[in-house]
Structure 1
């Protein structure tokens, strides 16, 4: 038996084992409603802050492009986009944890 065939059989067997594992729905413990509310508020505030910061950088780009300094805020823009991606990932995680 060749190495590639043995590897294919190993991956097939591993896939069959993983397919048989149970996948229960997430269930919040009793009294978790307050934490869910706080997480929902934090998610909302984070997304609003991200939107406002993107608008602020766009305004800075607009004013500085008239003065010939438009490229200086690219680093700020990239940093804000990285923050938006982190907030987006966090909102997906919060949605998974809260079961919504």
Structure 2
């Protein structure tokens, strides 16, 4: 029991001196390839959805301007562009955190 406590105390002392633990990756190569493929497809789908959202919002703005109606399409455009920013930054943020 005392040896276990001493080992734990040694671990905390090693981490307290400023060293950073460096865990190793041991995921199977086939699994990581499949996960990367799925994430790539999702990234392309998110980008396509963002482009479609901008085009649809622009078309709705043009139609409402033609009819002379006032509408709140700028708020909708802001939400669509915010979603585009989230999709565009998700990959680099995950790579920075877990890469």
TM-score bracket, shorter-length normalisation: 0.5 to 0.7
Moved over 3 A (4+): 93-99
| 1:69 to partner: Cα distance | 2.5
Give the 3 Å change call, closer, same or farther, for CA 41–96 of structure 1 in structure 2.
Answer: farther
Match of 1:76 in 2: 76
| 1:75 to partner: Cα distance | 1.0
Q: Distance in 2 between matches of 1:98 and 1:33?
A: 16
RMSD over aligned CA atoms reads 2.6
Query: Could you tell which deviates more after superposition, 88-97 or 60-69?
Result: 88-97
Match of 2:87 in 1: 87
Match of 1:53 in 2: 53
| 1:47 to partner: Cα distance | 0.2
Aligned to 1:65, what secondary structure does the other structure show?
helix
Q: Distance in 1 between matches of 2:70 and 2:61?
A: 5
Q: Which runs of 5+ in 1 are unaligned?
A: 1-20
Give the 3 Å change call, closer, same or farther, for CA 43–90 of structure 1 in structure 2.
Answer: same
Give the 3 Å change call, closer, same or farther, for CA 95–28 of structure 1 in structure 2.
Answer: farther
Task: Tell me the alpha carbon deviations over residues 28-86 of structure 1, each in whole angstroms, 9 at most, x when there is no partner.
Answer: 83231111011000000000010011000010011001122254211111100110010
How many residues are matched? 77
Does the Cα contact within 8 Å between 1:57 and 1:76 map onto a contact in 2? yes
